[in-house]
């Protein structure tokens, strides 16, 4: 039986990126996904706040997916600056409740990570947002014909 590395136990981004390339070449999308998630976790600052953790995982995953496409590093500077000014909650609310889907929504969704979109994060943590914000997100996604898992209903 062949050895299969466990990305969750890896802490070297260069090795994870090499594993992503090899897994991708072999058609192992499941392994690519796990490596991408580990890269996002490694890049995210540690926090006991679940909303804060998910914000950073979303940002880092979007950066990772944007980087793979053109083959050059892509950073979400505006989101990071907004976070520094306003915090994760306001940043998520502003992006998720804007009338149009963001480019990063499409990057994350097309990259197989719709659960990391700010819209999905807002709905998952709706107790930290207003009912109006959650409803705005549901309406926006409905207009776009998009169904995300919504534990709130």
Tell which wins on pLDDT, 132 or 46. Answer: 132
Query: Do 79 and 15 have their domain in common?
Result: no
In a domain, 134, yes or no: yes
Tell which wins on pLDDT, 67 or 118. Answer: 118
| pLDDT of 136 strictly over 80 | yes
- pLDDT on residue 150: 44
| pLDDT of 71 strictly over 70 | no
In a domain, 22, yes or no: yes
List Cα–Cα distances, 25 to 19, 21, 22, 40, 63, in angstroms.
Answer: 10, 6, 5, 21, 21
121: domain range?
50-153
Mean pLDDT taken over the chain: 87
- pLDDT on residue 151: 43
SS3 17: helix
- pLDDT on residue 68: 65
**pTM to 2 decimal places:** 0.79
Instruction: Say how many domains are in the chain.
Output: 2
- pLDDT on residue 153: 35
- pLDDT on residue 48: 87
SS3 134: helix
Query: Do 80 and 112 have their domain in common?
Result: yes
Q: Which H or E run includes 50?
A: helix 50-68
Are the C-beta atoms of residues 51 and 129 closer than 8 Å to each other? no
pLDDT tens digits, one per residue of 75-107: 777 888 888 999 999 999 999 999 999 999 999
What are the tokens at 120? 């999905």
Please give the torsion angle defined by the CA atoms of residues 39, 77, 52 and 139, in that order, rounded to the nearest 10 degrees: -110
For residue 45, the 8-state DSSP code is P
CB neighbour list of residue 111: distance below 8 Å, 6 or more residues apart: 36, 61, 65
CB neighbour list of residue 99: distance below 8 Å, 6 or more residues apart: 140
């Amino acid at each position: 039986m062949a050895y299969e590395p466990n990305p969750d136990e890896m802490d070297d981004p260069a090795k994870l990126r090499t594993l992503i390339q090899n897994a991708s070449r072999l058609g192992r999308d499941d392994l690519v996904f796990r490596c991408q998630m580990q890269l996002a976790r490694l890049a995210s600052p540690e926090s006991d706040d679940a909303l804060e953790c998910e914000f950073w995982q979303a940002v880092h995953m979007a950066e990772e997916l944007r980087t793979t496409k053109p083959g050059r590093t892509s950073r979400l500077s505006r989101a990071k600056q907004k976070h520094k000014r306003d915090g994760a909650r306001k940043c998520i609310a502003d992006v998720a409740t804007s009338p149009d889907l963001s480019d990063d929504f499409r990057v994350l969704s097309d990259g197989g990570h719709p659960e990391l979109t700010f819209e999905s994060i807002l709905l998952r943590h709706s107790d930290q947002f207003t009912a109006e914000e959650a409803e705005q997100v549901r309406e926006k996604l409905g207009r776009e014909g998009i169904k995300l898992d919504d534990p709130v209903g």
